[in-house]
Each structure stands twice: as structure tokens, then as C-alpha cells.
């Protein structure tokens, strides 16, 4: 049995004068005397005072950047600046050296790309340990928010025989022989012989199945991995990412917007209330990184300032039609500063969304009632016959963070929309049946987990907020 | 905006005399007067008193089993037995009829197989709504347990280029042409042209990657889907299931066993403390189902009785060697009642484990220090050179519920074990590096999520505790 005290909780109310044992990784080793230890429990470090004369030289020589060390001693008020308490070591245990002549990481800052390639060590850096603690915080807040409000967590399938939603390119899942698959009479792959007896793919969304849950348990949410086989090698796309999809019965688009706004504010408040030291570190990091940039390239607000700004007021709510009118009347439009055209019926581009949020309203914006032709078949047709009860929440920096809709609960309208959009009825017979028998108005939305973690941490690349990113030609670890 | 009150919270402290609106599905419709409504918020139903003379005939005719209905009225003390309050309806809204001449489900009980095939409706039944609320409860308890104890939730990859663990057959993930994949000079599939630039599969375990997290953040856990492409068409196997894998730095096998026992008891207590009405329903369900069985085929204990029994005492802890000795000295062994042979060095079979738990100790048992040759390469070699610091927790009915180990942190020992077991070093260079640089003793375990949900709900088939089961030739929805 190994006994130790964790540093972050220890420093909350340090028992000065008592003997404690801590174990962690050396963040700094100063003057062969001051060993700064972090154990991952938080961003906090504990300074361990090591009297080199009292320990074998082998021990002293083993202490160094990212070596793993245990120390037992008395907790004392600190003499130095920068910390309130320190540990006067009476015994030291070396768990694992980290020979700096061979260790990939070095004490100086290294590029994000390099750290990504060395993901077995990047969580030991101050930046990434903070990022992944915040990632945890957001995940926990999601579960807590829904649980406290009577939602049930529903695991929708990862492997699916549906390819009806058409949300994107899919990865095939198979156990057939990769070179000589069985073929049917028509010379096509005979998926009847595959593991599941049919062609299967990795899910792009759990929404359709979540509707089953909502129309029985009332309020459910999914929180699981989703996949896109799109060849997008950008700082905004992942091939594997996590998504949250709440779905509620007896709800319209108004209930949906209220829930989404309250939910996303809760997540940010949870981090501000419980993980401030990590956010402060990440805030400081951005300021350091932007120090040498021209003023106009710097963020207009600090990280924490921006998070507080987002949660403090109501989000602006406008219709798609109003959004188009605002953009058409805007200065950048008139001065031809937008790259993409704007016209009623086409999707808003990132540059338009950012103008609305960052320049015009200067707050998050919920746009609703999009043209039906640019939205999915399951979104509820509005009385105008032209728009659907869909809504997107747009944030500064990252653009769309949430997309949702009231679902079409009227069987005949849904059937017509499916035909219009080329969705095969027979594949989604069960989905139509949810309307035939005991249906109800219902609504939901999707939140891209990495999107909100990107926003809250202020990181620049979505690959840096997931422990092991998957992207084209990238599936290390 | 749709406003309603949810039935389960409403009944906790019913505001008799006030006007409320509820919405849900009709569970029973008695004498054209008493409509029993459930909205999924809990197993509780609310009886709505409908004066048929006050409503149009069309409304009255639409009320029926699993129709979706809203009702507004005054909450009153109930005159009848079986409920304390009832709703005197002043207005009724039909959201969705359920024409019983066409609706797949019927008011009488239907087979588990039939309900599985009609999973779009099975969550509306009393049994499955209880099962999936308990499933939620266990999931929430898992996140709460770890969060409250300073663990960080880590998302390990679903798509992986590792196939080193050898925990089972894997599903291939690909976007290559299914009939004419690109071939290399040797005539094999050229996975360099696949999406990820290499052959990729669905994960069988996140443990190896979780070790990266533990050796940086101290204490982490995974909770995600895992996959086995095994052709096991049984009531105990799924091709897609969820797994929880905590991993802790500065921990040995003793810490690991303590954590695992405390954890699994917490999950059960959480359900007993917070979801007792659902457990009572499931308990009663089993008693009804077993009523006509011979006494020896019935469970020796009721569901809730068994759950309380498991959490109240310490689990028995024995070594593998002791377990073998006990089995060799047992009556069923001497009377040749066991189907499989027993000898030091071979794995214990379910019949042996069940004898230890149900007959001999009559409590959960932790077996540790298994022969190294029947365990994975990463488990820490004990000083005897023959056994490893592995442990399994065995439960009544379901057998192994948790399997864990202290990990081999000594680089040279690990390297030798990898060679011995035929694990390729180059594929796991990063894993070995965790030992080369800043390593520490660490340990962890895996809990099969559906296994523990099966145990807590008392269901008989693992396909009935996951919303959309995946198994050979089965990937509906």
C-alpha cells in the first residue's frame, strides 16, 4: 500500500508543522536545493527544500526536470516568495529519472506540433495538464447539469447500420477479408456476410436514436464519440470527436433555445467557479503568447474576461432573415470586405457569423428559423412553409457552438420532407413510427464537446484539447 | 414555449389544490374515466380523472395504451386506493394517438426478444424505463465518484492504430474502396492510402493510453465504448459495450483492490439511495417471473436484498493459489461435479468462480496474484517470478465484474515480458518510454459497464441493459 497526500487539496488548508508525503514530477530544480513538485492534482506546485548534504549524491543527481519523485518531511511556512508553505524533506524517493540528454521534452517551451507527436508526455506540461483538467471539468459539468435537471444519460450506438442522416462522410466498420471480400450476384460486396449482416459505419450523430429515448423517458442526453471521414486537415476539424445531444419531449424551439443558453452558460460558470487557477494559467499563457503580436492581432479580451462576458448577459436572439438583412446593411458588406456572397437561402459563412457576434452585437447570438433547404429533413417546418424551427448558437472566435431544432413530429409532413430530401423511408421506418404512435412535440440540440473546450481553454487548435487527436493520416497512440 | 410539470418530482411533495399540467404516455385507461399517466421522469404514475361527458368524444376515443396526452387540472387528494393524489382534468390535449390495432406493443407483457426488435418503443415499458433509469444512475455515480475523489475523466481514442493489447478480435475501420483496395508490392492492402495512413481498428481497451494520463495528472479514468469482433451470440456478450478504466499513479495492487471495492459498493449504494422505486419495481418483476419456477431455480435472494448484502460486508480477498486449493478440496470437485479441470496455472472457469462466491464464501471475492502466463504482458511481475499483481472481483450471478492489476513499471522487466508474450516493441515505444522517463508505480482496473448494470437491475440478458445492442448479425437502429 502506497500512501501520499495530493498537492492541490493539501495546499487548500495546509497543515503546517505536520509530516506529509507527496509524490509527483519535478517542474523545476533550483540551486541543488529547491525542488518544485507537481502531481497533476491541480496546477499548484509544492516547493520541497532539499538539503543536499543530507542525501546520497545518487539521489541528488537523479532529481531533475520531469523526474518522478516522492518526498516526506515537515510542512513549514515558506521563507521565500511565491509560495506560502514548503516541505522540508527528511526523506526522498526516486521513482523514475528523466535523463534530459534523452528525454524528448525539455524545460524550455516546445512547439504544439512537437508536443502532439509526443503525446505520451505532453500532459505533464503546465499548459496541457491545465487543458485536460478543464476538459474534465466541462465533461463533469455536462453530466451534473443534466442529472440535476432530471435528464437521463442515453448511450446511442457507435456502430450503426443507418446512414440516413447524411451529416457527413462515414467510416466503414467491417470484419470482411480486406482483399477478397465476398461478392453478391451483382458483383457488389455482400455485406450479409459481414459481422453485423449488413453494411455498418461509425455514427455521425446519436440524435435520431436519442429521440426514441426522449419519447419514453421525457428528457435524455447523449455524450459520446462521433466521427467524420472528411479530409479536412484544419485546426478546427477532427475525425473523431465527442458530442452532447440532449433531446426533450414536450418542447418547442423556444424551450430548446432556453435550455441551450442556460446549459452552455452553466458549463462556463462551472469552470470559473471550480477551476479558476487553471483558467488563470491559460489566460496568462495567451497574454504571453500574444505579447509580441501587433495590437490588432491580439484578442480584444483576456480569456477569463471573455468567459465572464459571455455568461453575464442574455444571448441575442434573431431570425435568419433578420441576420441576412443585418449583414446586407453592414459596412463590411457595403465595402465588399466579405469573401462570400450573402443572399436569403444560402448558409451564413464564418465571416458573417463572426461579424454578427464580434462586431455587431458584441455577444453570443442565437440565429433561428433557417431556410428549410439548407437544413436537415427532421427539422420542424414553420408555418411559412419556407423555414424550419432550427437554431444555431454563435460564439466569438469559434463560431457555431450549438446547433439544434424542434423536430418534425407531424408524420405526413416528415414523410414529405424525407421524400424531398431523398431520405429512404424504409431505412427509417422506426423513426416514422415514433410519430405514428404516441408522438409528441420534441426538440434538442448538439454541442461539439471539443468546440466548447477550445473556447473555455483559449487554445488555438482543436487537436490540442483532445488527448489523442484523430485526423487525416493521424492516428498515433 | 411548452410548460409542464414532471410527474416524479411533482409527486415528491404534491401541491394539492393547485392547477398543474402534466404530459406523458397513457399506461392504463380504466372505465373511460381513470387515465394513468407516466412521463418517464420516474416509475411513478399520476392518475388523471377524466369526466367523459365534459370532453369531445374524439378526445375520449383517442385516449388509450401508450397514447401521448397532456392534461391540465386541479391536483386533489385521491379517493381511490393505490395513489395519494390525482388530477381532476379540466382540459386534455392529445399529442399522439397509438392505434392499438397497429401499434406493435400491447398492454399485456411481451417477450424480451420482441421488445428488443421494437426498441423504438421498449423504453416506454415499465421494465425498460426502469432499466434505463438505473443505467443512467450508474453512469452518473461513476462520474461523481471519481470527480469527488480528484480523478480526471480522460477520453482515450476509439479508433486506434494499436493492436498490441491482444484483448480480443477487432473491427477494422477504413475508407478504402471495399472491392478494389490499393495493394502494395507484396500484394497486401496498402493501408498507407487509408484515411489514417495506416491500418486502424476500434479500441478494445483504453488502458494503455490511460497510463499516459495517470503518469501526468495522477489519477484518471476512462468511460467510453469498447469493441470485440467475437462471434459470441450469448446473453453475456456484446460487440459494443462501455467500459470504465481508472488508472492511478503511486499505487500498488493493495491500493487498487481498495479502490475497486469501494467504487463498486458506491455504485450500488448510489442506486439504493436514489433510485429505490425503480429497484423495487425490478425486484417485484423478478419475483413475478420466478413465481412458477421450482424453488431451486429461483434466486436465493431478492434483488434489493442481494444488493444490500453485497455492500454491507468486506469482500473476501484470497490469492489465486488459495482459490485453486479451495476448489481442489471442495465437495463438487471431489464428486466430479465441475465440468472443467482445475490445476495451478490454468484459468478459473465460471463454475469455479461461482462456487467460491455463491457456495463457499457467500460474498464477493477478490482473487489476486494470478499465474503470469494467463495474464497480460503489462501486469507487474511478483517477486516469486511466477505470478503477477493482478486481481479480479467476482460477484454472484455475473462472475467477474472487475479485472485489474498493478502495472509493470520496471522497464527491463516489461521489455522481457513483451518479448516473452510476442508483443512488438516498436509499436509500443511510447508505452516503454513512460517507464524510461519519470515513471512511477501505478495500477488500475476495468469495469464492464453493462456487467454492473446487469447485476444491479437483475436482468437476464446483457442486450436488455443497453439501449441498442450490437451483436453478431444485429445492428438495428
DSSP assignments along B123-144, one per residue: TTSHHHHHHHHHHHHHHHHHHH
CA–centroid distance for B450 within its chain? 2
Residues A28 and A140 in one domain: no
Check whether residue A212 and residue A290 sit in a common domain: yes
Region of A329 please: left (phi>0), alpha (psi -120 to 50) or beta. alpha
Residues A130 and A210 occupy one common structural domain: yes
Residues A377 and A233 in one domain: yes
- For residue B103, being part of any structural domain is answered with yes
| Assessment of whether the complete model's pTM goes beyond 0.90 | yes
Question: B interface mutation test: which of A437, A470, A474 has the most B CBs within 10 A?
Answer: A437
Q: Which residues in chain A touch residue B2, judged by CB atoms under 8 angstroms apart?
A: 250-252, 255, 441
How many angstroms separate the CA atoms of A39 and A124, rounded? 9
Residues 6+ apart with CB under 8 A from B207: B165, B222, B245, B247, B378, B444, B446
Q: Which of B251, B430, B438 sits opposite A67 (nearest CB)?
A: B438
Task: Indicate left, alpha or beta for B162 from its phi (over 0: left) and psi (-120 to 50: alpha).
Answer: beta
The CATH number given to whatever domain includes residue B418 is 3.30.930.10
The answer as to whether B275 is a domain residue is yes
Q: Do B468 and A209 touch (CB under 8 A)?
A: yes
Residues B263, B372: one domain?
yes
Domain annotation covers residue A386: yes
B chain contacts of residue A155, beta-carbon cutoff 8 Å: 135, 225, 242, 466-467
Residues B363 and B288 in one domain: yes
This complex has an ipTM of: 0.97
The alpha-carbon gap from B25 to the nearest alpha carbon of chain A, in Å, equals 7
Query: Dihedral (C-alpha) A342, A347, A353, A356: value to the nearest 10 degrees?
Result: 50
Handedness of CA B108, B132, A429, B238 (dihedral sign): negative
Domain around A410: 126-169+204-464
Shared-domain flag, residues A270 and A218: yes
My answer on whether B310 and B392 are in the same domain is: yes
Number of domains in chain A: 2
DSSP A348: P
Q: Are residues A161 and A27 in the same domain?
A: no
Is B231 a domain residue? yes
Is the CB of residue B337 less than 8 Å from the CB of residue B327?
no
Are the C-beta atoms of B263 and B247 separated by less than 8 Å?
no
Instruction: Check: CB of residue B368 under 8 Å from CB of residue B257.
Output: yes
Backbone angles phi, psi at B224, to 5 degrees: -160, 175
- What is d(CA B59, CA B57) in angstroms, rounded to the nearest whole number? 5
Is B19 inside a domain boundary?
Answer: yes
Residue B370 lies in a domain: yes
Same domain, A99 and A134: no
Residues 6+ apart with CB under 8 A from B412: none
Q: What is the pLDDT along chain B (477 residues), one digit of tens a residue?
A: 999 999 999 999 999 999 999 999 999 999 999 999 999 999 999 999 999 999 999 999 999 999 999 999 999 998 877 778 999 999 999 999 999 999 999 888 889 999 999 999 999 999 999 999 999 999 999 999 999 999 999 999 999 998 655 567 999 999 999 999 999 999 999 999 999 999 999 999 999 999 999 999 999 999 999 999 999 889 999 999 999 999 999 999 999 999 999 999 999 999 999 999 999 999 999 999 898 889 888 888 999 999 999 999 999 999 999 999 999 999 999 999 999 999 999 999 999 999 999 999 999 999 999 999 999 999 999 999 999 999 999 999 899 999 999 999 999 999 999 999 999 888 899 999 999 999 999 999 999 999 999 999 999 999 999 999 999 999 999
Rg (alpha carbons) of chain B, rounded to whole number: 27
Q: How far is CA B49 from CA A180, B44, B53, B91, B451, in A?
A: 65, 16, 12, 11, 42
| Nearest beta carbon to residue B173 from set A96, A162, A173 | A173
Residue B20's DSSP bridge partners are: B73
Contacts of B237 (CB under 8 A, 6+ apart): B228, B230, B462, B471
| Local structure of B369: helix, strand or coil | strand
**Closest by Cα among B458, B451, B452, B465 to B265:** B452
How distant is the Cα of A328 from the closest Cα of chain B, in angstroms?
31
Half-sphere exposure of residue B303: CA atoms within 13 angstroms, side-chain side: 26
Chain B CB contacts of A159 under 8 Å are 171, 202, 227, 239-240, 470, 475
**Measured distance CA(B286)–CA(B288) in Å, rounded:** 5
On chain A, the residues whose CB falls within 8 A of the CB of B242 are 155
Question: Do B143 and B216 reside in the same domain of the chain?
Answer: yes
CB A56 within 8 A of CB A91: no
B172, B227, B250: residue with CB nearest A4: B250
**Would residue A471 count as lying in a domain?**
no
Q: Could you tell me if residue A86 is inside a domain? A: yes
Give the list of residues 6+ apart from residue A416 with CB closer than 8 angstroms, or none. Answer: none
Position of cell 501486469?
B379
CA atoms within 13 A on the CB side of B208: 27
Amino acid at each position: 500500500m502506497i500512501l501520499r497526500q495530493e498537492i492541490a487539496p493539501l495546499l487548500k488548508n495546509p497543515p503546517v508543522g505536520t509530516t506529509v508525503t507527496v509524490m509527483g514530477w519535478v517542474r523545476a530544480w533550483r540551486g541543488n536545493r529547491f525542488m518544485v513538485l507537481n502531481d497533476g492534482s491541480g496546477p499548484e506546485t509544492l516547493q520541497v527544500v532539499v538539503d543536499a548534504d543530507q542525501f546520497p549524491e545518487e539521489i541528488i543527481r537523479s532529481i531533475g526536470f520531469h523526474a518522478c519523485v516522492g518526498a516526506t518531511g515537515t510542512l513549514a511556512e515558506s521563507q521565500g516568495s511565491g509560495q506560502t508553505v514548503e516541505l522540508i524533506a527528511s526523506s526522498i524517493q526516486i521513482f523514475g529519472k528523466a535523463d534530459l540528454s534523452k528525454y524528448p521534452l525539455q524545460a524550455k517551451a516546445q512547439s504544439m506540433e512537437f508536443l502532439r507527436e509526443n503525446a505520451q508526455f505532453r500532459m505533464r506540461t503546465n499548459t496541457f495538464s491545465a487543458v485536460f483538467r478543464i476538459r474534465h471539468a466541462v465533461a463533469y459539468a455536462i453530466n451534473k447539469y443534466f442529472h440535476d435537471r432530471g435528464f437521463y444519460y442515453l448511450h446511442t450506438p457507435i456502430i450503426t447500420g443507418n446512414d440516413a442522416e447524411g451529416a457527413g462522410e462515414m467510416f466503414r466498420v467491417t470484419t470482411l477479408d480486406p482483399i477478397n471480400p465476398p461478392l453478391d450476384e451483382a458483383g457488389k460486396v455482400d455485406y450479409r456476410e459481414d459481422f453485423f449482416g449488413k453494411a455498418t459505419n461509425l455514427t455521425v450523430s446519436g440524435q435520431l436514436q436519442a429521440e426514441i429515448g426522449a419519447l419514453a423517458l421525457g428528457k435524455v442526453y447523449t455524450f459520446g464519440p462521433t466521427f467524420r471521414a472528411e479530409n479536412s486537415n484544419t485546426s478546427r476539424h477532427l475525425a473523431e470527436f465527442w458530442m452532447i445531444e440532449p433531446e426533450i419531449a414536450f418542447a418547442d424551439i423556444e424551450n430548446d433555445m432556453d435550455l441551450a443558453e442556460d446549459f452552455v452558460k452553466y458549463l462556463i460558470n462551472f469552470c470559473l467557479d471550480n477551476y479558476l487557477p487553471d483558467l488563470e494559467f491559460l489566460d496568462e499563457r495567451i497574454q504571453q503568447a500574444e505579447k509580441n503580436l501587433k495590437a490588432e492581432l491580439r484578442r480584444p479580451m483576456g480569456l477569463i474576461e471573455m468567459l465572464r462576458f459571455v455568461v453575464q448577459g442574455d444571448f441575442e436572439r434573431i431570425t435568419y432573415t433578420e441576420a441576412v438583412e443585418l449583414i446586407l446593411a453592414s459596412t463590411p458588406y457595403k465595402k465588399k470586405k466579405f469573401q462570400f456572397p450573402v443572399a436569403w437561402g444560402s448558409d451564413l459563412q464564418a465571416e458573417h457569423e463572426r461579424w454578427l457576434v464580434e462586431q455587431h452585437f458584441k455577444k453570443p447570438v442565437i440565429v433561428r428559423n433557417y431556410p428549410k433547404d439548407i437544413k436537415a429533413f427532421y427539422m420542424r417546418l414553420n408555418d411559412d412553409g419556407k423555414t424550419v424551427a432550427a437554431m444555431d448558437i454563435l460564439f466569438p472566435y469559434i463560431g457555431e457552438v450549438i446547433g439544434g431544432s424542434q423536430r418534425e413530429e407531424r408524420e405526413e409532413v416528415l414523410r414529405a420532407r424525407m421524400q424531398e430530401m431523398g431520405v429512404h423511408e424504409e431505412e427509417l421506418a422506426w423513426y416514422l413510427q415514433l410519430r405514428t404512435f404516441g408522438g409528441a412535440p420534441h426538440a434538442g440540440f448538439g454541442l461539439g464537446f471539443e468546440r466548447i473546450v477550445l473556447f473555455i481553454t483559449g487554445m488555438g487548435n482543436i487537436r490540442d484539447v483532445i488527448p489523442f487527436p484523430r485526423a487525416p493520416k493521424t492516428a498515433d497512440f
